[in-house]
Amino acid sequence: MNHPRVTELVRPSRLAPGARVAVVAPSGPVPEERLQAGLDLLRGWGLDPVVAPHVLDRHADFPYLAGTDADRAADLQDAWCDPSVDAVLCARGGYGAQRIVDLLDWDAMRAAGPKVLVGFSDVTALHEAFAVRLGLVTLHGPMAAGIDFLKNARAQEQLRATLLAPETVRVISSAGRALVPGRARGVLLGGCLCLLAAERGTPHARTSAAGGLLCLEDVGEETYRLDRYLTQLLRAGWLEGVRGVLLGSWEQCGPYERVRALLAERLGGLGVPVVEDFGFGHCDGALTIPFGVAAELDAEAGTVTLDEPALR
């Protein structure tokens, strides 16, 4: 198959002290005490966080959603289109981002200009949509009300540096180990494995990972389900032409020895460098990874070196 290659995207501007950042909840419901702790942390960085109107909502019929689809979509779109807002930070993941992607006015959001989007897990659906619809670099990183963010200084510091001083994190270092050794160049992309599989065939997702350095992680999925998602991506041809693979955390996905064997078996045949335990996703001290930036992966060193800082 001939696929369009993953290309570099437009980098939003870095944040300056006093920057206004909006916190939204595109997916699951948010505990108020964790939200307040996250807001305090952001204020401590010299930022001015504002909370979207429906962040603390809970859907009447589906309590796994933070309010109605229309309200969650409106919060995200209004924050993005507000000229006083410089960045949009997701409060948490869970489930629900896919339900709002088709409700967003992408023309209006494109007209609002480039801004910073931060999140991971279920926010994978938004990373894909922002890449395809807006052509923007986004940050796969900790979320404002995430317990892993609130309790971990490393996660906090790397996100803070990426937002405010991105030139200081041109090299992203991990304790990762090479499943398949080697170096590779490509454009970073990816996210939560189950979401990437679920996005196949939708109009708001990339049609291929060709030319990319693909970041994969997941949480709470039994090994056979991970097998299903990887097999789906392989059968769909989505992994053809990928340049390298970075594997993050696999919390509550079964014994890691079994998960590791599956990842090696399903991905080893791609003939590209693969690094495991890179330290992003659902784990303590999760690294912030800029999607849409060209970089070089050194699987044996456990490093990714960005061609340019994540933000301008």
Q: Which amino acid is at 178?
A: A
8-state DSSP, 56: T
Residue of 181, 180, 178, 187 whose CA lies nearest to 208: 187
Q: What angle do CA 203, 208, 209 make, to 5 degrees?
A: 130
Report how far residue 83's alpha carbon sits from residue 116's, in angstroms, rounded to the nearest whole number: 13
Residue of 210, 283, 297 whose CA lies nearest to 253: 283
Question: How many CB atoms lie under 10 A from the CB of residue 257?
Answer: 8
Report how far residue 93's alpha carbon sits from residue 114's, in angstroms, rounded to the nearest whole number: 22
For the packed helices 256-267 and 223-235, what is the interaxial angle rounded to 10 degrees?
10
- For the annotated catalytic residues, the residue numbers are 121, 217, 282
DSSP states along 169-233: GSEEE---EEEE--EEEEEEEEEEHHHHHHTTT-TTS-S--TTEEEEEEEES--HHHHHHHHHHH
Q: Which amino acid is at 227?
A: D
Contact predicate 270/213, CB 8 Å: no
The SS3 assignment for 104 reads: coil
- Classify the C-alpha dihedral 241-244-249-255 as positive or negative: positive
